[in-house]
Structure 1
Amino acid sequence: MSSKLKIALATVNQTPLDWKGNIKNISRSIDEAKSRGVELLCFPELAITGYGSEDLFLSYWYPQKALEQLKQIIPMCENITIAVGLPVRIQEVVYNCIAVVENKQLMGFVAKQFMAIDGVHYEFRWFTPWKANETTSYEFDGECIPFGDIIFEKNGLRYGFEICEDAWRGKLRPGYRLKEKKIDLIFNPSASHFAMGKSKTREDLVCFSSKEFDATYFYINLLGNESGKMIFDGETLISKAGKLIFKNRLLSFEDYQVSIFEYDHQKSNYPEITSSHDKNQEFVQAASLGLFDYLRKSRSSGFVLSLSGGADSSSIAILVAEMVKRGVAELGIKTFLSKLNLKIEKLGDDPSKDIMTQILTTAYQGTENSSKETFESAKLLAKSIGATFYDWEIGTEVKSYTQKIEKAIGRKLTWDKDDLALQNIQARSRSPIIWMLANIKNALLLTTSNRSEGDVGYATMDGDTSGSISPIAGVDKAFILQWLRWAENELGHHGLKYVNALQPSAELRPLDNHQTDEDDLMPYPTILEIEKLAIKDKRSPIAIYLILKDELGLEDELLKSYIRKFFRLWSRNQWKRERIAPSFHLDEFSVDPRSWYRFPILSGGFEVELEELDSY
């Protein structure tokens, strides 16, 4: 009886409804694995359809179409065993399954037992959990195929599955029952969204699982920005006896990656590996891959960005530059351009800058309240990364709108009475012309609002919230500010020197007002601390006050005023969050009401809870 098995884990960058492209990635992975003598190949969860198929899973035809794709895959599996994820409908319910095919024979379907229902996950809407230890048969292509909670054997080695969320359910997880069945190998095919710091959590889970279940544990995740918001990092992990013995390179720009492992059941001295976790690196790699996939899958020709010279728009410009630099380094110029369907006739000594000139178009849209410093900051940054740079004044447009309103209402607008209206008309006046530029270029307009500003509504609807995709809406402003300093020093983006010297300001009031964001709101680190407790941990205003009064070292009344401002602004600005452009999920939590945190548009605004602060 053999105790050896050549195993491969294949991550794939899939797209809902791209049946040809998805099958191509799977078939190429199988071909590569077979050419290298692989005996058992495991793909991620829902690899045939893509995880982000949303309500397509509820239809009758979509799961059926997935089974038709499986029929195409089966003949590819001569002299190899593969495990691949897909939805399977039985009468009125749909199950999230792994199909196991061995030597062109379908051996069975394993059904997921636990649904992910927190944060960005909504699996109970589409899938029904399978009951532990239950099996049935499923008619497929004229044969009755085992279906449910089943295990398999290869080369005398017994193996089973935990499908993504199955592994996160403590003592209820299938791994404990697999241990009772003397399983040698456990595979975890997953569709686990990227978040900064999450890779370390997965490593801990995989190492714990291998030791707890006395089995070698294999983890394989989907790859890329599959369907718009969630990014998958394509992580592949292997652990034996509580030690991490394999980890791949994450967040690849490739269509697929095949990681091969020579497994020997008798071998106990696999070298343990260590890995590093840097949130700054994770952020730039995930966001740049997210932008790359969004650009190519939307079939757009490039990006357009209103570049103000401030932190938010500058961070997005750098992310696009990093997308080009990292994509070219990994794929090569020819493949990179081909995947984006771009043609550049002649490239100079710095190809990345030449590509940037075509991919990213920026514009500085000044008013009488814009400073020379932000103009120079924007101009220098665009030049340093090779982006096309325009600048124009929108004072005429602002004046035209203002005069029309003044004539209609019969009075002059003043900063004393009409501060908010006068600020917002400047931001909104920038939107039509930058949208026009994006339309002319068949490009995606990049929105510049961040999560902290989303919390408190410090963004002009149809102004700086206007766009096709909002790359940094999932991260807080304090992170962006420190990341820009890191990017200048560690990534060599010296064009950020002016950006990092500026104090964040909307520059919408007269210059002699010396407007700053933190004067309008509160310190960004304070917003972050309140936000974490209020949104991530779901604490009440009083609980937040009691927690932060000692931690932040602020005067009691000042802290209370910040908490009141946060909750009042949060409540009245839910409608804005409902309308923000699609954003990448990049952090451990989000304020996106369509994918993470739901809140009523109309509410009592925490008035009772905030009044209770006075008693403390």
Structure 2
Amino acid sequence: MNDTRLILAGAALNQTPMDWDANLFNIKEAITEAKLHKVEILLLPELCITGYGCEDMFLSPWLSEVAFEKLLLIKEWCEGITVCVGLPVFLNGLVYNTACVIKNKEIVGFTAKQFLASDGLHYEPRWFAAWPANVEQQFEMLGQSYRIGDIVYEEQGVKYAFEICEDAWRPNRPAERHMGKGVQLILNPSASHFALSKTDVRHKLVVEASKKYECAYVYANLLGNESGRVIYDGEVLIAQHGKLIKRNELLCFKDVDLEFAEVCFSETPQLTEAIEYLPPIDENKELIAALSLGLFDYMRKSNSRGFVLSLSGGADSSLCAVAVAEMVKRGIKSLGVLGFVAKAKMFSLKDAAFFDTLTEEQAVPELVNRLLTCAYQGTVNSSDNTFTSAKELAASIGAVFYNWTIDEEVKGYTATIEQVLDRPLTWDKDDVTLQNIQARVRAPGIWMLANINQALLLATSNRSEASVGYTTMDGDTAGSISPIAGIDKAFIRQFLIWMQQELGYTGLQYVNNLQPSAELRPGKEEQTDEKDLMPYEVLNQIERLAFYNRFSPQEVYQKLLEQNLAEPEMVQSWVTKFYTLWARNQWKRERFAPSFHLDDYNVDPRSWLRFPILNGGFKEELSKINTSENDGF
């Protein structure tokens, strides 16, 4: 074939389920920007008209009908350009996840997704039907007939086709068949959720596909916290013949992030200069970027006016506080001061005029002061160390800080129950009760502040606590959003040190010198989390082996023994405690505030890991763990 040069582009979009006006505005912005750069083919993300996270609303025929009406509006914006846009199509009682190709204001066809994601966070087979390979047919909509199926398209003599997200992650992916049809360009519109280090896998997938299939490959992902729990990194990749040509900055605060490149198609194509990509990604940098963007989108899309936090001075609440501060810092860096203020949707014109007089460095603590209110709620069991930790951290980032005690409220509830039972409550007999009432009494006051501020209350539970139920319902689990519930405690502890050293949050020096403790028992007992449970590194290993690797309790026990972590009796007690507490506390995990998916797995039953509330408690499985039978380990 003759040399053909095409300017190709992918655009990451920050969409919201069923927010038609905002979604179409972003799509129009992407098309307008692409035209300015004389782009010939623009790829937009999967299901970007409706949003990917519509859940069971996809089963309602009207949703697809509205999406099609919006598609017809988009079509009119596509003069002189080919645009690929995602939407559901309702056909013969089934819903298909499609990418529609619009060329110069004409709909050319709809490619339907062939492989549906059904693992981890994904429930696509609940909503969509898989399209069979090599099948194409016609369908009618609003009096017009359209092609749908496994279609090969053409642009200026260059043949191209699609892999829609999951399609590319399967061994018998569509690209295997497309190459035999002379396809030289693969387009991949995706809604691929963020997880630590996932971008490394995705980069390999795209670049190696472009090499194996001797083609150009364009990938465009969704961006931001789309529907509450899932964050998208907005990755855009353009590769050809095993070389990466373009890659954008991930997890940015923009609504539209477009990358483009001129690509040569010929028998011996002249390749654009490649970008050097050096994995692995720093997971600490990834995590703070995802947390920041996730919090910002959750705040603005819920029309909330900032955050309220019960700042205990411990690791978890300290991380939540710094995440808000970093949200402001990163948002300003990405959007500018006025851009951040406008996008937050909570400030008056007078406020905007004030912030416009500040430098970016001055604006960060001022905005944190408007967006984050913290309170330390001490008891007789609280230490001076945690108070200092909370106070100094809040001051260092500019947050509003309040301090009060809850001893009188605790005494009131305790006295009521003592009168009802006609006996005193004691630590020997009522340990859990006396711990929990302190945590629960903290909730009403902090909720009042959240209501007064019209703000989101941040819950502070982490994944390790969720696994074993080491948390008080209606206490530290109270909140509108639980941003760190997908992160384990061991990671959090090193993450706080990294943020102090690498990001300059000097206020973290106090918490980084403390052992994690609930501080609910009298101080003389020197309560710590790990004394109550087990070493966090061990807890996290058991959790991962059990639910990510899906080993049985006996297999988990044997794998821990092989590491010589402790005597067999101690390992047995750890494994038994973990599974017993896990089985007993599923009802707690069912009630947690919405959490972000940040790692390659989580324990949220409404996203990654379902488990029966009523269950056998692993009694038979744990009975098989007998240290005498494992002396060889």
Q: SS of the residue aligned with 1:470?
A: coil
Aligned counterpart, 1:143: 144
Q: Partners in 1 of 2:152 and 2:622 — Cα distance?
A: 55
Deviation at 1:60, TM superposition (A): 1.1
Alignment of 1:538-553 (within 5 A): 538-553=550-565
What does residue 39 of structure 1 align with? 40
Letter in 2 for 1:273: E
Partners of 1:263 and 1:210 in 2: CA distance: 13
The equivalences for 1:479-518 within 5 A come to: 479-518=491-530
The amino acid of 2:582's aligned partner reads W
RMSD: 1.1
Q: Which residue of 2 is the match for residue 342 of structure 1?
A: 346
2:625 match: secondary structure: helix
- 1:258 CA displacement: 1.1
User: In 2, Cα distance between the equivalents of 1:311 and 1:414?
Assistant: 29
Residue 206 in structure 1 maps to residue 210 in structure 2: no
Partner of 1:288: 292
Q: Aligned runs of 1:223-372 on 2, under 5 Å?
A: 223-265=223-265, 266-268=269-271, 270-276=273-279, 277-343=281-347, 344=351, 346-347=354-355, 350-372=362-384
1:117-138 CA distance string (max 9 Å, x none):
0000000110000000001012
| 8 Å Cα contact 2:245/2:272 also seen in 1 | no
CA displacement, residues 300-326 of structure 1 (integer Å, 9 cap, x when unaligned): 001000000000000000000000000
CA contact (8 A) 1:2 1:156 kept: no
TM-score, length basis structure 1: 0.99
CA distance, structure 2, for counterparts of residue 268 and residue 493 of structure 1: 44
Aligned to 2:222: 222
For 1:22 and 1:553, locate their aligned partners in 2 and report how far apart those are by CA, in whole Å. 52
Give the unaligned 5+ runs of structure 1. Answer: none
Q: Structure 1 counterpart of 2:173, which letter?
A: R
Which residue in 1 is equivalent to 2:544?
532
Kept in 1, the 8 Å contact 2:3–2:264? The answer is no
**How far does the alpha carbon of each residue in 1:381-434 deviate from its partner, in whole angstroms, 9 at most, with x for none?**
000000000000000100000000000000000000000000000000000110
The Cα shift of 1:271 comes to: 2.1
CA contact (8 A) 2:84 2:101 kept: yes
- Please give the alpha-carbon distance, in whole angstroms, between the structure 2 residues aligned to 1:524 and 1:460: 19
Residues 459/552 of structure 1: CA separation in 2 closer, same or farther (3 Å cut):
farther
Q: Percent identity?
A: 55
Q: Is the 8 A contact 1:470 1:584 kept in 2?
A: yes
Q: Which residue pairs with 2:446 in the alignment? A: 434
Determine if contact 1:245/1:273 at 8 Å carries over to the other structure: no
The answer as to whether partners of 1:5 and 1:264 remain within 8 angstroms in 2 is: yes
Please tell me whether the aligned partners of residues 292 and 323 of structure 1 are also in contact (alpha carbons under 8 angstroms). Answer: yes
Q: What does residue 580 of structure 1 align with?
A: 592
The separation in 2 between residues aligned to 1:369 and 1:555, in whole angstroms, is 34
Q: Which amino acid aligns with 1:227?
A: S
Deviation at residue 268 of structure 1 after TM alignment: 3.4
Cα offset, 1:102, TM superposition: 0.2
CA contact (8 A) 2:590 2:606 kept: yes
- Aligned counterparts of 1:143 and 1:471: Cα–Cα separation in 2: 46
Question: Distance in 2 between the 1:208 and 1:424 partners?
Answer: 53
TM (norm. structure 2) is 0.96
Give the AA of the match of 1:160.
Answer: A
- 8 A Cα contact 2:246 2:259, kept in partner: no
> In the alignment, is the contact (CA less than 8 A) between 2:306 and 2:371 conserved in 1?
yes
Corresponding residue SS for 1:504: coil
Q: Which residue of 2 aligns with 1:55?
A: 56
Query: What is the rounded CA distance, in whole Å, between the counterparts of 2:4 and 2:563 in structure 1?
Result: 56
Residue identity matched to 1:29: A
What is the match of residue 189 of structure 2? Answer: 189
Residue matched to 2:489: 477
Whether the aligned pair in 1 keeps the contact of 2:246 and 2:260 (CA below 8 Å) is no
Change (3 A) 1:47 1:275: farther
Note if contact 1:2-1:155 (Cα within 8 Å) is conserved in structure 2: no
Q: The residue matched to 1:346 in structure 2 has which SS?
A: helix
| Equivalent residue, structure 2, for 1:177 | 177
Whether the aligned pair in 2 keeps the contact of 1:10 and 1:259 (CA below 8 Å) is yes
Q: What is the identity, as a one-letter code, of the residue corresponding to 2:549?
A: D
Aligned equivalents of 1:114, 1:152: Cα separation in 2? 20
Q: Distance in 2 between matches of 1:268 and 1:388?
A: 55
1:454 equivalent in alignment to 2:466 = yes
Give me the whole-angstrom Cα distance separating, in 1, the residues matched to 2:244 and 2:35. Answer: 26
- Per the TM alignment, residue 180 of structure 1 is displaced from its structure 2 partner at its CA by 1.0
Inter-partner Cα distance in structure 2 for 1:42 and 1:368 = 60
Provide the secondary structure at the position in 2 that maps to 1:48. coil
Between the aligned partners of 1:464 and 1:590, the Cα distance in structure 2 is: 19
Deviations 1:523-554 (A, max 9, x none): 00001111110011111111011112122532
Question: Secondary structure of the residue that 1:87 maps to in structure 2?
Answer: strand
Structure 1 pair 376/64, CA: closer, same or farther in 2 (3 Å)? Answer: same
Question: In the alignment, residue 199 of structure 1 is paired with which amino acid?
Answer: T
**Matched position secondary structure for 1:538:** coil
Distance 2:215 2:419 in 1: 78
Q: Which sits farther off after the overlay, 127-136 or 202-211?
A: 202-211
Q: How many residues are aligned here?
A: 615
One-letter identity of the residue aligned with 2:47: L
CA contact (8 A) 2:377 2:403 kept: yes
On the 8 A contact 1:246/1:273 being kept in 2, the answer is no
Q: Which amino acid aligns with 1:346?
A: F
Whether contact under 8 Å (1:22, 1:49) holds in the other structure is: yes
The CA distance in 1 between the partners of 2:102 and 2:25, in whole Å, is: 18
Deviates more, 1:503-512 or 1:232-241: 232-241
Where does the alignment leave 5 or more consecutive residues of structure 2 unmatched? Answer: none
| Contact 2:263-2:271 within 8 A present in 1 as well | no
Cα shift readout 1:268-301 (whole Å, capped 9, x = no counterpart): 3632421441100000000100000000000000
Output aligned runs, 1:588-599, within 5 Å: 588-599=600-611
The code of the aligned residue for 2:127 comes to: W
